[in-house]
Amino acid sequence: MTGIPEAFETLLKESVGAGCAQTVLQALDAPASVSIRLNPAKLRSCPFPGATPIPWSPYGFLLQDRPVFTLDPLFHAGCYYVQDSSAMAVGHIARQFMNAPHMAVLDLCAAPGGKTTDLAASLRERWGDRFSLLANEVMRSRYAILRSNVQTWADNRVGTLHLDPSAFGSAPVFDLIVADVPCSGEGMFRKDAQAVAEWSPETVAFCAARSKRILADIWPALKCGGVLVYSTCTFNHFENDDTVEWAARELGAQVVTPEMPEPALRTRCGWLMLPGLVPGEGQYVAALRKDGPPDSQLAANLFRLFGAQVSEDSQVPGGRGSSRSIGPLFSDGRSTSAGDPASINVDRATALRYLHGDAIVLPEGTPLGPLTICYEGHALGPAKNLGKRCNNLYPKSKRIRMDIP
């Protein structure tokens, strides 16, 4: 890869060793991999042939090539999330601390929502409705993306909000906090040329200082005995191990060493996913346990406490994580139940026209009034059948903007 700063290469060798550094530099010239993570409430098998499981995610799959996800209705239905395989390591570490029902969990720097949906799937599978997850993003523009992705995932135990870390206050209410902090982005060099252009030693120092401020601000909100999973998508020791050691020393924490399968690289305090050793991009993960006797007290309603937005069943077609089959389907794919909108399955071409915001034609005999448009049994969104025509009510902000073949 051209344009790599010499100072970056020097710091990379200092942080991971000369041999691993050379592996990373060579990998930066290779194509990036493509991976997805299933929504287990909707899909149990990968819809793409030839995909291989990712060892550190029960829902993750590495794809042979990159499909046009925009033209897959299952993507719009929230059946899977497109996420780098290395980023799934954060979920793997967090799952090792989901050890009790009624957990209060915070994804602090959550946009665009990959780690939030991974946490939600894991908590849902393990504890059913007995958890609360807040997904927070301080930047309003990025919050809109987070909110949209959480709505598509459709779990009513996940709330979204945009607060500065300091706004969570000093009351210890969270059992688990995931802080995937803003960083210098070294691990994204292969995918993001802008990250290369903006890198400098000064940026690294700024990001390390900001990470310490974020940790200091959110630390009081973690219960004693609770765990904070700290992660970055960068390689250098200043933002990674040095920051974790600072937190352990200054905040009153114990560095814990959760399990991570090979070929992740063990560091002083955590784990590094290095391109060339793993198929994905760069990711660092560590875990800190807050000193003090464990606090098992259940928190108040987190959504009300912090004013989070929650996707209620009535707001999300299909409700909690799945497109409910509302009664037995008719032969043409319709289903009905008293008090619920009818849902109707459509073919792929009709689904894509619907997602594009176009007018669609439904089969004769389709119930009049509010409908949920479904594809392969998974809810896409609302419509209103007027008989001779059907009002497409798919949100304009979510519509496909590319031409539909």
Following DSSP, what letter does each residue of 291-322 receive, concatenated?
Answer: PSS---PPP--HHHHHT-EE--TTTSTTTTTS
Classify residue 49 by its DSSP letter: T
Q: Which of 253, 278, 310 is the last residue of a domain?
A: 310
- Asked if residue 211 and residue 98 are part of one domain, the reply reads yes
Residue 377's domain is classified under what CATH number? 3.10.450.720
Residues 274 and 77: beta-carbon distance below 8 Å: no
Between the CA of residue 125 and those of 38, 184, 276, what are the distances in Å?
A: 13, 34, 32
Number of domains in the chain: 2
Tell me if 43 is assigned to some domain. Answer: no
- Asked if residue 344 and residue 290 are part of one domain, the reply reads no
Please list the active-site residues: 233
Tell me if 78 is assigned to some domain. Answer: no
Supply φ then ψ for residue 358, to 5 degrees.
-80, 165
Supply φ then ψ for residue 189, to 5 degrees.
-55, -40
C-alpha–C-alpha distance, residues 195 and 304, integer Å: 38
Residues 288 and 256: beta-carbon distance below 8 Å: yes
What is the extent of the structural domain holding 372?
334-398
Residue 272's domain is classified under what CATH number? 3.40.50.150
- Asked if residue 158 and residue 232 are part of one domain, the reply reads yes
- Asked if residue 269 and residue 150 are part of one domain, the reply reads yes
- Asked if residue 340 and residue 295 are part of one domain, the reply reads no
Q: Which pLDDT belongs to residue 318?
A: 41
Tell me if 73 is assigned to some domain. Answer: no
Tell me if 325 is assigned to some domain. Answer: no
- Amino acid making up residue 124: R
Tell me if 148 is assigned to some domain. Answer: yes
Q: Which of 261, 276, 310 is the last residue of a domain?
A: 310
C-alpha–C-alpha distance, residues 373 and 392, integer Å: 10
Tell me if 286 is assigned to some domain. Answer: yes
Q: Which of 241, 275, 310 is the last residue of a domain?
A: 310
Angle between helices 201-218 and 6-16 (to 10 degrees): 50
- Asked if residue 182 and residue 94 are part of one domain, the reply reads yes
* Helix H or strand E encompassing 209: helix 201-218
- Asked if residue 122 and residue 264 are part of one domain, the reply reads yes
Three-state DSSP class for 60? strand
338 Rama sector, left if φ>0, alpha if ψ -120 to 50, beta otherwise: beta
C-alpha–C-alpha distance, residues 371 and 369, integer Å: 6
Tell me if 33 is assigned to some domain. Answer: no
Q: Which pLDDT belongs to residue 312?
A: 58
User: Which residue reads 């539909």 in tokens?
Assistant: 404
Classify residue 169 by burial, with Cβ atoms within 10 Å: 0-12, 13-18, 19+: middle
- Asked if residue 237 and residue 165 are part of one domain, the reply reads yes
Residues 351 and 399: beta-carbon distance below 8 Å: no
Tell me if 62 is assigned to some domain. Answer: no
Q: Which residues pair with 36 in a beta bridge?
A: 61, 82
Q: Which pLDDT belongs to residue 387?
A: 86
Q: What is the pLDDT along the chain (405 residues), one digit of tens a residue?
A: 778 999 999 999 999 999 999 999 999 999 999 999 999 999 999 999 999 999 999 999 999 999 999 999 999 999 999 999 999 999 999 999 999 999 999 999 999 999 999 999 999 999 999 999 999 999 999 999 999 999 999 999 999 999 999 999 999 999 999 999 999 999 999 999 999 999 999 999 999 999 999 999 999 999 999 999 999 999 999 999 999 999 999 999 999 989 999 999 999 999 999 999 999 999 999 999 999 998 877 777 899 999 999 975 434 444 433 333 322 333 344 444 445 678 999 999 999 999 999 999 898 889 999 999 999 999 999 999 998 889 999 999 999 999 998
Q: If we measure between CA atoms, which residue out of 188, 153, 183 comes closest to residue 28?
A: 188
Classify residue 363 by its DSSP letter: P
380 Cβ neighbours under 8 A, 6+ residues apart? 73, 76, 77, 317, 351, 354, 355, 372, 373, 374, 394
User: What is the reported pTM?
Assistant: 0.93
Q: Which pLDDT belongs to residue 296?
A: 79
Classify residue 181 by its DSSP letter: -
- Asked if residue 246 and residue 139 are part of one domain, the reply reads yes
Following DSSP, what letter does each residue of 223-286 receive, concatenated?
Answer: EEEEEEEEEES---TTTTHHHHHHHIIIIIEEEE-----TTSEE-SSEEEE-BTTBSS--EEEE
- Asked if residue 276 and residue 389 are part of one domain, the reply reads no
For residue 341 the two structure tokens come to 């909108």
Residues 165 and 217: beta-carbon distance below 8 Å: yes
For residue 18 the two structure tokens come to 């000369």
Q: Which residues pair with 265 in a beta bridge?
A: 272
- Amino acid making up residue 66: R
- Asked if residue 362 and residue 225 are part of one domain, the reply reads no
Q: Which pLDDT belongs to residue 238?
A: 98
- Asked if residue 344 and residue 267 are part of one domain, the reply reads no
